[in-house]
Every structure is written in C-alpha cells, then in structure tokens.
Structure 1
C-alpha cells in the first residue's frame, strides 16, 4: 500500500559517553536522509557493464527555525557548559545514539508510527549560522551516521507498544 510521510521526525540524541543528558529535537521542519555508496564499474565499449557497490555512507540533515543551546553548540562545533557555548580552534565532536519517530499516512487514511534508530552519529561541526533582522533564521544541523554493531547504519521499523 502506498503512503506519504506526515511531518518531520522527532528525535532523541543520547550521548554514548561522558556527561550530559539526552537531547530532544522535536521541532524540526525538515529531516533529510542521504545515503551514498562507492561504485566500481567495469566497462564494455565505454558503457558500464558490471557494477560493484562498496562502502555506504549516510548523513541526516535536520532543518529548523527554532533551536536549542545544545543543538547550537553541535552546529558550531562547540561545547556547552551551563549557558555558555565555547568554540575552539580544534573540535572534539561527541558521539550520540539517535532514536526517533515519524508517521506514515496510507492511501486508505490509516496512520502508522515508525521508529528510526541509529546506534552511532556525530554532528558535522560546520556551521552556516546566519542572523537577520528582517527574516527568521533557518538552521541545518548535519549529522554523520556511523556504523554500529555488525555494520548497521540505521533501522526503520513499525513502532510497537510496550
């Protein structure tokens, strides 16, 4: 059955090590997944004849118009201590696990909540952080999805009630 995705994902990022609690990001306007695979192709008469796909990389882009201090620190590649964000010339980007939900709406009108789980992510410390007196700012935090146990990047499944 065909479906559409209703709304952007709601996420919880949990630090894998160190201090600090989980970070809830439930205000996204956009959530984009990007996966890419290395490609090797044997050609015959200049045209791809046999293709081998190799290692896969993945990233998620989180787009919003509102932001928290925790997300701002990740976006800038800085450290949050209390209310202060400190950005240094070297970056030590922490790892998080990601758990989230999003909703599918099927063509018959029914809905189904999906879970999204990534065992290991890391925020890209590259910022395009603009302030504008006449428009609302938009922010995009990009996270790299890193392989967890058994090479798993992420999993999507129907949410089960517990």
Structure 2
C-alpha cells in the first residue's frame, strides 16, 4: 500500500485504476498496485466469475495458487486499513470467497469506518455488517452517489460504552 491508498478491484479491466491515476497524479505522488481479486484481462486463465471458487475442476494448480495469493494479499492489506470505501460493489452473497476475504481483512484492530458509495447502500450495508466482528464497533455509512455526502448511518453498536 502506497500513500495510504489500497485498491482492491473485482473488475477484470483497468478502468478504475486508470481513472484514479489520472485524477490523483496531479496532487499526489501515487504508485498504485491494484489487487484484482477476480483476475484480470491481462491473463484470461485467471479470471473468474463471482459465483465460482478458486478451486474449479477446469483450473490448473498454478492458477489456483495465483488466485489464492491475490485473496491473501487483499485480506492482509486490509488489516492495515482504518477506512474502507466500497464503491459500486454489491457484495453479492453468491461471491462467498469475496465475503471471506473481506471478513478476514475487516477483523483488524484499526478499522474505524466503512463508507459505501452505491445507490443501493442500505442492502450493501446490511451485508457489510454481517462481515464485521461482533467484538468491535466499526462505523458503516451510506454515501449519496450524487452529492458524495453521508446519506445514512448503518452502524451497529456491538459493545457497551463502558466496556
């Protein structure tokens, strides 16, 4: 992770990282090394659909290892994040491996806030809250896609204030 920005993408293309580079390069020295958790167009053998799993009958061992490494890299990188922005990602329950990666990464001791930028942030916030540890309070907020301002607070306070 460089300059406080970590990009984990479920997209196979490079549109998001190219846009981030174009916008932020003006004000920041940015070295962005995105993690493509569902593979990338740069190697079609390593692309997979959210409903698939790492170990599919047709996938060879080297590709399984690469995908597993991407997942491990993603959750280990999330362990250092204080704030996470989920942008345009539904967190579909059929994508079980993504849920496991995020749950592992969100279990860190420094995570303070998760911002969800999506028109359907209420559904996604519910899914995020299911992935969070029950022993910690992490703010979960829905962000309006047009104004980019907080629209709703979905935080579930799990601890008593005097703990």
Tell me if both proteins adopt one fold, taking TM over 0.5 as the criterion.
no
Higher alpha-carbon Rg: 1
More strand per residue? 1
Of the two structures, which has the highest relative contact order with CA contacts closer than 8 Å and spacing of 6 or more? 1
User: TM-score category by the smaller chain?
Assistant: under 0.3
More helix per residue? 2
Q: Structure 1-normalised TM-score? A: 0.21
Q: Structure 2-normalised TM-score? A: 0.21
